[in-house]
Structure formats: structure tokens, C-alpha cells
Amino acid sequence: MNAPTCHLNGTGQERLLANAMGALEAVQTAQTKLQEVYPNARDYYVQPQGEEACRAAVQQYLDMARKLEAVEKELIELAYNISQQGSPTSS
């Protein structure tokens, strides 16, 4: 995601950074909560779901985890880019 430009007429750098960090924290919470739904083989009976049901569920879980990791990395980059901008001055 492109970082917004910090300037006098826009949202302040501190607020932009706080918003990005809040979103990052929410994604990290989602990552923790996602661990609670990791598929357990005992919950996937062969009948009626079939022998591959648990393996498929694990793959789907890993796909979701990768998506959250990608969003986490983008938010870290966004926060970094916001933090690296100089504070606007009224010169």
C-alpha cells in the first residue's frame, strides 16, 4: 500500500502511524485467533467427508495464514514509511 504523504493540511503523522499500528495489531490478533481453528484430524471423520478432508482443511488453514502474513508485512511497511517522513513544518 502506498504510504500517505504527511503534510500540514492532511491527517497528522502521529494519527496516520497510530492507525497503521492499530490495523497491524488487529491482524496480529487475527493470526493468534486463527491458530485456535487449526484443523485436528479427530474432527474430520472419514465418513461422510472422505479421507482427504483434514488435509484439505489444513491446506485451507495455511492459505488463510499466508494471507494474514502478507497483510501483516504490508502494514509493517506502511507504518515504517509513515514513520520515516519528516514532520511537516509551517515555514
Residue 88 reports pLDDT greater than 80: no
pTM for the predicted model, two decimal places: 0.84
C-alpha span between 88 and 5 (Å, rounded): 10
Q: What is the pLDDT of residues 4-50, one digit of tens each?
A: 998 888 999 999 999 999 999 999 999 999 999 999 999 998 778 88
Q: What is the structure's pLDDT at 68? A: 98
Phi and psi torsions of 37, nearest 5°: -110, 15
Q: What are phi and psi of 70, to 5 degrees?
A: -65, -45
Predicted pLDDT at 49: 84
Residue 90 has pLDDT above 60, yes or no: no
